[in-house]
Structure 1
Amino acid sequence: MTRRSILVLALVLHASGARAADDPTAQAEAPPAPQGPVETVEVRGAAEGPAALDATAFATVIRAEDFADRVTSVPELLREAVGVQVKSLGGEFATVSIRGSSAEQVVIYLDGVPLNHALGGGVNLADLPLGQVESIEVYRGFTPAGAPAASIGGAIMIHTRRAGTIPSASVSTSIGSFGSGEAIASVSGTRGRGDYAVGFDGATSSGDFEYLNNNGTPHNPTDDRTLRRVNNDFRRGHLSGRFTIRGGPHARFSVATDLFARRQGVPGLDCCRSPEARSTTTRLLVRPELEMPGLLGGRLLARVAADYTLHRQEFDDPEGSVGLTGRKTDDIDSNRSHGPEAAFVLAVPRRQAISILASERWETATLEDRRLPGPTDLGTASRRTTVATLEDQIALGTDRLILNPSVRYEAYDSLFRPGAAGGLVVDLRGGRNTTGKIGFRFRATDALTIKGNFGRFLRLPDFIELFGNQGSVQGNPALVPERGRSADLGVTVATSRREQGVLRHAFFEAILFETVAEDLIQFVPNSQEVVRARNLDRARIRGVELSLALALGRCFSGSLNATHQRPVDISGRYTDGEILPGRPLDEVSAGAALDIGRGRAFYEFTFVGRNFMDTLDTPSEALPARYLHDLGYRARLRKGLQATIEIKNLANEHTYDLVRYPLPGRSVQGRLAWEF
């Protein structure tokens, strides 16, 4: 491998959301990056290809062409990926976990900006509309060194659409059951040395599907009733844009913007309806970025970026029907974050590429409850985080063996200043932590690859865990970060793609993984109505991931993803040896597609095993297994114009998720899309 090709490979592996392949001039200036650093799982059709940030990690890449003929969403696509679990409330709220992690232990990025905020809670996947998404990368168990924020479960990178070499535009509209509808429009083009891509999408739904209400008595079926979901409606709008200017062969400046707004109902559990609670979410994201490839005679890539994010959420519960205490609330949480980052990739002799990342982030959250008697200002929490990473990618034996060690240093300080509603000033000393990861990829033959990784990561306590919410949650400033060590080992077998023949392509992957997490933060009751966060639990998750993809003949393609895991409590307390709640042992997703003339028929199957909901694994409280079947057909009506009809939950199964939130039954959706 030449020094120049090492740099190109490092650029592809390290640039966060801004790859050379996205720029036609960059493609002309440098040879393409070698394919195959990361063999990926076929999620739908042809989802294989290199993930951008880590050559040795096991990752899934989902591209726009993989879901172009479907009426789907980000949560549905992630649910089909191996090793990924999605928890849904049956409306506009869903979170993701990877390899048995919690939702808080997965960092989600949008165009290089981390969406997890220090106020707490996992990222709501419904805040990520699919209409403007170009690709999704799922890193299982490990966070790449090129990402400024890391955690125990892994990372998900979402990239929005960019301008191509030819101006284009597209529009689509869809309608479906339960009063659902969506409209999407996008346009992109070039002008001189610059290009642009702008997109808009809006959606609405009443969410009034039928479900089985057990009236809070799961052991007494005589009082069960079939009702319609109420207060499950939503409306959302989303506008995104990216503008790029090329300043010659060694400079490229871009600005990415994203504006999102949604208003929705909060319907409550199956037995305990919440007819009045509402939630409003707004998000603004701005990220300018300057890339300077090809410096020092082609040996150095430099990238400098900054971002600003505003996230505001209001939750109004005038009847106190949501939560354990019955307290009426009108909470407003505003979270602001900003910070710079700089990354450098240097190609050095002996087939090495050294990568350095430095970032700093300031985050401030203001809390208010308008239903408090008297002053409503609860206070302001702030955090400053400094991150530095160092990665050395070493290629040996004409790229047959790649070693990828990295180290990450994090320093943070947190502060809470109470508002007029009262409280004490809490100034934490913060902490300093050093973690790291080492991985390898060995290409035994052109078809067989062996990979493995070992590393340590952590998750910082969020503001609610540290400082509480002046209500039923009491904070604990003495909390330490959750820590975890992860290891995996797997083999990938992939044949070369052929245009003709009985077997055009085959892909198989088998992975063993283990994660041991310590100092897990749990809320422990202090009294009948107050809980306090403490570092108590220790857990071990072991499992296996299997993936298979086939392309047979001229018309058929199929995929199968299966995950078996055993997430066990090893805290030494009375729950020792029990399965962790909310983590099913088995999940399977399968898909098949058949090209028929000018159309394509496709089928999706999803299985989610029995899911315990309490720490003692009470069988009667467990959610039953789910078997879901989806069927659809896409027809090409004319050049650029296609129509899709899809039936979800074909058998009309009444299913539940996450402490008995009902999920929709059978639904029918249709879409008309035009590209020109």
Structure 2
Amino acid sequence: MRRSHLAGRWLCLALSTSGSALAQQAPPPPQETPAPPSPDAPGGEPFRVPTVQVVETAEAPAPPDSASRRDPSGALTVIHVDGFGGAARDTAAMLSTAPGVTLQDVGGYGQSKSLVVRGASSNATLVLLDGVPLNGPGGIADLSRVPAAMAERFEVLRGGAGARYGSGGLGGVVNIITRRPGAEARVAGELSYGSWDTALGWLSASGPLAGGEALVLVHGGTSSGRFPYLFDPSPTLPGDALVEQRRTNNDARGAGGLLRLRRELGGGFSADLMGELSFDERGLAGTAQNPSADARQSGGRGSASLRVMGTLPGGVRTNARAYYRRDRIALAGGLWSQSEPQVQQLGGVELEGRVLLGGWHALSALVSVGGESVTAADTNEASGGDPAWPRASVMAMDEVLLWDGQLTLAPSLRVERAGPYTLLSPKVGVTVELPADFELRANAGRAHRAPSFLELYVRQGTLLPNPDLRPESALYADAAVVHRSEESFASVGGFASLYEDLISYEAYPPGAARPYNFANARVVGLEAEGEWRPHPLLSGAFSYTLTVSSDLQRDERFYLRELPYRPRHKLAARVMGGPRWLTGRMEVVAQSAHALTRDGSMSLPGRAFVHAGLSSTFGSRPELTVSCEVKNLFDARAEDFVGYPLPGRAVYLSVAGAFSGTETP
């Protein structure tokens, strides 16, 4: 067996237009895709046309907690933020360009945005910030509270992830990797202004500090949210004229900061400290048919993590991490008003190790302990007051190389205790190297999601808790064929998931709703993605997803009907071209019609949005980039979720600058 296969033979792609490096690196252990220089990395640019690279090396393996290392055969997309360029970049919109990912959008800057991955519910997608879980008390991570300014890249792992990430990853995991410190002094920033008085900005400084590297970034944004939309005053009368109205109580504002510190500790060990703080406030406008004039939400989040990495005697590569997050949400006005804010706290420590044995397999193990709690004004008797519970888990994985590294098997198992629930999540992954730069990936396993505190214990407005809920679970399998070259990347694959004991809110008289384990569901589909760079000044990327869902509840009203909020077809395509001084880009994002109710009586029309932009970059010390972006170029009027209007055409202008102490190459 050749040790080089396991020590780091890999293929990677730094993307053309959407900035995604799509995934699976050749078997283990794959290295991280070399990221395009970020605005805070020495020699980086606020905007650049990315390049396609193929790299083979056995040096500097990926961190143990990277998605490519934790799940070497999984369906992984890496999206680099700087690959999108332009003004008013949005975290949720960028993530929705990945295959298998659908966005649920309440509409407008700062309004709630969540993801559905491979047909799983939005609270069954685990979202992490540098490994710190962001899923709030209700189990749903609101991506509107994560500005793109903080992120360097996103790791989108599709498919059940219970074996490697624990409870919550039925559909997949999104890890938001924040900007890295740089070894050279650098100051960078960006200001954007556009439609509906939307203003965004960030400023960062990075460089050496006390023998290490540091990054400080501050960000903020505001919008009135008063965009026009088409309103149907008589929805029961087909064919009546639509009336244009403007959204009210749809304003939003937020601000925050990020601190990153990195330092070499000696002996082959390094430490990385991350601290993040944010505050936000927004109006809750309600749906078009049921607007809310006074409902408001305010919140704040603080999170921190400390990671120490190194190699112990015997070649054991270790990763130790401690993390903490505090999330506060206050609601006022409307039906959701509460007398006290709701505060969730969670924290934990984990130790992960990996060792190469005999040159033909690598063992990984992880032990983690922690806990979480929620303070709430109105809890049921089963909670015993403010609900809190401990968490603990143990994970083991082996990566076995066969036939001179042409076949890699990666079985793994996680045993987890989440409060009163014991969860067992097995998985096996397979990677096969084929002739002519082709590769086959396949995975099968089981994942779980324990009910959230809100679902079990907390009354919030008209939503009632149910302490008798059981965990949701998923049986899943997927396979894909991948091809890579120096100029292109392509992947085509299929997936299937069986979701069991799904939790859904049902009407609970008089006028309330309560969650129940009501049914099973089946989701099968196809994912295709590709990237192509035929010329240094031209690049393109696309992704397509076919999702076919079936409700397996034994009720003739619902049996075998498609699940709500799961469009059957979703397409994202992007092209970018031109020299540095004038780069143009165009993007198309489309999805088909889909059901809004389980009986199929109501549906949401399909939609297609076209976005276009131009950027010009000048100089190097300092460097200046001016951009113009037109979102929804053809002013398509659409709604999302259960009747929330989406913005029409919007224009944004931005100016970005960067200055470093060294000459940009």
TM range (shorter): 0.7 to 0.9
- Give the whole-Å Cα distance in 1 for the aligned partners of 2:100 and 2:33: 20
Q: TM-score, normalised by structure 2?
A: 0.87
Q: Is the CA contact 1:473–1:530 (under 8 Å) kept in the aligned structure 2? A: yes
Matching residue's letter, 1:629: V
Q: Is the CA contact 1:51–1:61 (under 8 Å) kept in the aligned structure 2? A: no
Match of 2:567 among 580, 584, 587: 584
Where does 1:408-557 land on structure 2 (aligned, <5 Å)?
408-413=414-419, 430-469=420-459, 472-495=462-485, 497=486, 505-557=487-539
Deviation for aligned residue 1:51: 3.4
- The DSSP-based 3-state class of the residue aligned with 2:149 is coil
Deviation for aligned residue 1:478: 2.1
- Give the whole-Å Cα distance in 2 for the aligned partners of 1:600 and 1:36: 27
Deviation for aligned residue 1:257: 0.3
Asked if 1:626 corresponds to 2:616, the answer is: no
Partner of 1:300: 316
- Give the whole-Å Cα distance in 1 for the aligned partners of 2:77 and 2:282: 31
Partner of 1:423: none
Q: TM-score, normalised by structure 1?
A: 0.85
- Give the whole-Å Cα distance in 2 for the aligned partners of 1:308 and 1:34: 29
Q: Alpha carbons of 1:149 and 1:240: their partners in 2 closer, same or farther (altered >3 Å)?
A: farther
- Give the whole-Å Cα distance in 1 for the aligned partners of 2:210 and 2:462: 58
Where does 1:126-525 land on structure 2 (aligned, <5 Å)?
126-143=144-161, 145-191=163-209, 193-215=211-233, 217=235, 219-220=237-238, 222=240, 224-291=242-309, 293-297=310-314, 299-317=315-333, 319-320=334-335, 329-330=338-339, 332-368=341-377, 379-413=385-419, 430-469=420-459, 472-495=462-485, 497=486, 505-525=487-507
Q: Is the CA contact 1:560–1:590 (under 8 Å) kept in the aligned structure 2? A: yes
- The DSSP-based 3-state class of the residue aligned with 1:583 is coil
Q: How many residue pairs were aligned?
A: 609
Q: Is the CA contact 2:86–2:629 (under 8 Å) kept in the aligned structure 1? A: no
Deviation for aligned residue 1:388: 1.0
Partner of 1:80: 97
Match of 1:51 among 53, 68, 81: 68
Q: Deviations over 1:552-596 (max 9, x none)?
A: 234221112111110110122231110101111110111111214
- Give the whole-Å Cα distance in 2 for the aligned partners of 1:66 and 1:213: 36
Matching residue's letter, 2:303: L
- Give the whole-Å Cα distance in 1 for the aligned partners of 2:226 and 2:52: 34
- The DSSP-based 3-state class of the residue aligned with 1:51 is helix
Deviation for aligned residue 1:186: 1.0
Matching residue's letter, 1:510: V
Matching residue's letter, 1:525: A
Q: Deviations over 1:38-68 (max 9, x none)?
A: 9xxxxx9668889343210111001133124
- The DSSP-based 3-state class of the residue aligned with 1:131 is helix
- The DSSP-based 3-state class of the residue aligned with 2:386 is strand
Matching residue's letter, 1:65: D
- Give the whole-Å Cα distance in 1 for the aligned partners of 2:543 and 2:5: 34
- Give the whole-Å Cα distance in 2 for the aligned partners of 1:4 and 1:254: 28
**For the aligned residues, what is the CA RMSD?**
2.6
Matching residue's letter, 1:584: P
- The DSSP-based 3-state class of the residue aligned with 2:435 is coil
Unaligned residue ranges in structure 1 (runs of 5+): 13-31, 39-43, 323-327, 371-376, 414-429, 498-504
Deviation for aligned residue 1:243: 1.2
- Give the whole-Å Cα distance in 1 for the aligned partners of 2:552 and 2:30: 43
Q: Is the CA contact 2:167–2:448 (under 8 Å) kept in the aligned structure 1? A: no
Q: Deviations over 1:154-210 (max 9, x none)?
A: 100111011233222211101010100111111111235311111111111111100
- Give the whole-Å Cα distance in 2 for the aligned partners of 1:48 and 1:224: 51
Instruction: Give the stretch that moved more between structures: 354-363 or 524-533.
Output: 524-533
Deviation for aligned residue 1:35: 5.4
Instruction: Give the stretch that moved more between structures: 243-252 or 260-269.
Output: 243-252
Partner of 2:617: 636
Match of 1:111 among 130, 148, 158: 130
Q: Is the CA contact 2:325–2:347 (under 8 Å) kept in the aligned structure 1? A: yes
- The DSSP-based 3-state class of the residue aligned with 1:473 is coil
Partner of 1:602: 585
Deviation for aligned residue 1:2: 6.3
Partner of 1:670: 653
- Give the whole-Å Cα distance in 1 for the aligned partners of 2:228 and 2:86: 28
Q: Is the CA contact 1:568–1:577 (under 8 Å) kept in the aligned structure 2? A: yes
Matching residue's letter, 2:403: G
Q: Which runs of 4+ in 1 moved over 6 A?
A: 47-50
Matching residue's letter, 2:607: R
- The DSSP-based 3-state class of the residue aligned with 1:474 is coil
- Give the whole-Å Cα distance in 2 for the aligned partners of 1:462 and 1:437: 24
- The DSSP-based 3-state class of the residue aligned with 2:313 is helix
Unaligned residue ranges in structure 2 (runs of 5+): 13-27, 35-48, 55-66, 660-665
Matching residue's letter, 1:334: V
Q: Is the CA contact 2:391–2:416 (under 8 Å) kept in the aligned structure 1? A: yes
Deviation for aligned residue 1:446: 5.0
Q: Alpha carbons of 1:642 and 1:35: their partners in 2 closer, same or farther (altered >3 Å)?
A: same
Q: Alpha carbons of 1:369 and 1:462: their partners in 2 closer, same or farther (altered >3 Å)?
A: closer
- Give the whole-Å Cα distance in 1 for the aligned partners of 2:29 and 2:258: 29
Instruction: Give the stretch that moved more between structures: 543-552 or 482-491.
Output: 543-552
Instruction: Give the stretch that moved more between structures: 627-636 or 554-563.
Output: 554-563
Q: Is the CA contact 2:162–2:448 (under 8 Å) kept in the aligned structure 1? A: no
Q: Is the CA contact 1:211–1:662 (under 8 Å) kept in the aligned structure 2? A: yes
Match of 1:120 among 124, 138, 143: 138
- The DSSP-based 3-state class of the residue aligned with 2:266 is coil
Q: Alpha carbons of 1:444 and 1:89: their partners in 2 closer, same or farther (altered >3 Å)?
A: same
- The DSSP-based 3-state class of the residue aligned with 2:82 is helix
Partner of 1:616: 599
Matching residue's letter, 1:391: M
Share of identical aligned residues, percent?
Answer: 26
- Give the whole-Å Cα distance in 1 for the aligned partners of 2:518 and 2:30: 46
Q: Is the CA contact 1:493–1:508 (under 8 Å) kept in the aligned structure 2? A: yes
- Give the whole-Å Cα distance in 2 for the aligned partners of 1:656 and 1:182: 24
